[in-house]
Structure 1
Amino acid sequence: MGPEPVPQRGAVRGRRVSADTSDVIVHPSPNCGPRRDGLRPHLIVLHYTAMSGAEAALERLCDPGAEVSAHYLIGGDGRLWQMVDEDRRAWHAGAGSWGGLDDINSRSIGIELDNDGTHPFAEPQMAALEVLLPGIMARWDIAPEGVIAHSDMAPERKSDPGPRFDWQRLARLGLSVWPREADPQGREFDRLARAFGYPPEAPQAARLRAFRDRFRPGADGPVSETDLRLLADLATRWPARS
């Protein structure tokens, strides 16, 4: 991975910072700052790296010139790096919103997963994620509905972690949510999507794609009754914090 960088304020090399495994590798990124306006994280945003490997992603996430970072990176083999302390603002989300709130960087923890979105996420990687998430959620009082996709809060710009990510697996462990069909009671897609959290300013086609990538992988065509029934349950049981 090249020479070791000088430790930055984002994390301190050689000590266990926040992760819930003794195998965390602390690799500080300078690309971070204080959370704005005293905000605390109430979201966890999952990403894929779309790079040639975990080491390449790590190099970019710690490159001052790239101006991007995340709190954690998980390799396909389950290796876990922490680049930014959880109480700091990492630069992972970019423009977007969730539940009517912007500056998602100040409101979230970012986790990058070594994957390009075209193949399933490796078992060691998913197992490491399942160890990491409960501790973060407990420390910051983040509910399962607060674990979202990058594409959820930026559907016009982003597609990660994409339709190959197993959200239902996380939901079975109480680490995210999964809908059952409910009566939409005449409510249309836009109202339901906004109630769950999707940004209304994004085109409907982008929001529909993000919703289906997460909850109906492989579905296509215009908005269907199944889409509305699943989204009605999400909007009713897990309306977004605003």
Structure 2
Amino acid sequence: MNIVDTPSPNFNERQLPVSMIVLHYTGMESAAAALGRLTDPAAEVSAHYLIDEDGTIHRLVAEDKRAWHAGKSHWRGITDVNSASIGIELVNPGHEFGYREFAPAQIEALIPLLGEIKDRHDITRGNVVGHSDIAPTRKQDPGELFPWGQLARLRLALPRPTKNLMDPLWSDAGFLLALERFGYEVTDKLAAVVAFQRRFRPELIDGEIDGECRCLLLALLLPKPQGDE
């Protein structure tokens, strides 16, 4: 891995052990602009790593420190996600500046980095999440073009379930209870459903709870989701 140390002053001490990895896109017009913001003391934001589109990895904050990438967020009962996570930013202009597919070199750099972090901290696949998963009312990244399936086939993230799917016929309220059990904050129903769809059914993000969404969520709540791995 080509890792360049680009220190950010924006960190403090962790209050929790590392149990999560949060993936982001930068949502800025260039890598230089993103690095400038992530290392600017006045911005008060950072991440542990940033991966440029050419595959260069910038190490901004040491993993034993609390980087400031998650903001107000929630996942599986944890509300101080910054304390419990490693944050990885991927250079991409995002939905505001011309969202596009992630560069192959970028994903090729992410895969070994993600694998090493996951193994080092004994992080489960269900705790490798996107920013939109932990902050559904505020964030869309890394977005519907992110190659979650590629990571899942390497056992670096949960797969989209494809086998033995069955509709539990939950009411909408029942679906939201199950979604909360899985890990999402569901106070805003529409935002929670959209975030779930963006992650597990990116081809149709309409905020509607339908049979396919129920089937996918039920499968994800089983001990071993059956997908294309």
| TM-score (normalised: structure 1) | 0.85
Cα 1:85–1:58 change in 2 (3 A) is same
- Matches of 2:6 and 2:36, distance apart in 1: 10
CA distance in 2, matches of 1:185, 1:55: 48
Alignment of 1:177-216 (within 5 A): 177-180=158-161, 182-187=165-170, 188-201=174-187, 203-216=188-201
Equivalent pairs, count: 215
Match of 1:3 in 2: none
1:30 and 2:9 are equivalent in the alignment: yes
Question: SS state of the match for residue 222, structure 2?
Answer: helix
What corresponds to 2:28 in structure 1? 51
The corresponding residue for 1:115 is: 92
Q: CA deviation at 1:186?
A: 4.1
Matched, 1:223 2:204: no
2: distance between equivalents of 1:220 and 1:121? 19
Q: Match of 1:72? A: 49
Show CA shifts across 1:166-200 (max 9, x none): 11110000000013253353443202211210012
CA distance in 2, matches of 1:230, 1:46: 22
Residues 47 and 112 of structure 1 are in contact (CA less than 8 Å); yes or no, is this contact kept in structure 2? yes
Distance 1:45 1:52, change over 3 A: same
Alpha-carbon distance in 2 for matches of 1:215, 1:24? 31
Residue pair 1:26, 1:82 contacting (<8 A) in 2 also:
yes
Q: Is the 8 A contact 2:53 2:91 kept in 1?
A: yes
Q: Secondary structure at the match of 1:185?
A: coil
Q: CA deviation at 1:237?
A: 2.9
Match among 93, 113, 119 for residue 132 of structure 1: 113
CA offsets, 1:69-127, max 9 Å, x none?
Answer: 00000001111000000010000000010012100000000000001231110000000
C-alpha displacement of 1:137: 0.8
Contact (CA 8 Å) 1:70, 1:84: kept in 2 or not? Answer: yes
List runs of 5+ in structure 2 lacking aligned partners.
Answer: none
Contact 2:137–2:192 (CA under 8 A) maintained in structure 1: yes
2:184 is paired with a residue whose SS is coil
Instruction: Report Cα offsets for 1:112-168 as digits up to 9, x if no partner.
Output: 000123111000000000010111011111111110000001000111001010111
Amino acid across the alignment from 2:14: R
CA contact (8 A) 2:169 2:214 kept: no
Offset, 1:29 = 0.5
CA distance in structure 2 between the aligned counterparts of 1:124 and 1:49, rounded to whole angstroms: 16
TM-score by length of 2: 0.90
- Matches of 1:65 and 1:143, distance apart in 2: 34
C-alpha RMSD of the superposition: 1.5
SS at match of 1:129: helix
In the alignment, is residue 161 of structure 1 matched against residue 142 of structure 2?
A: yes
Q: Aligned letter for 2:10? A: N
Identity across aligned pairs (percent)? 46
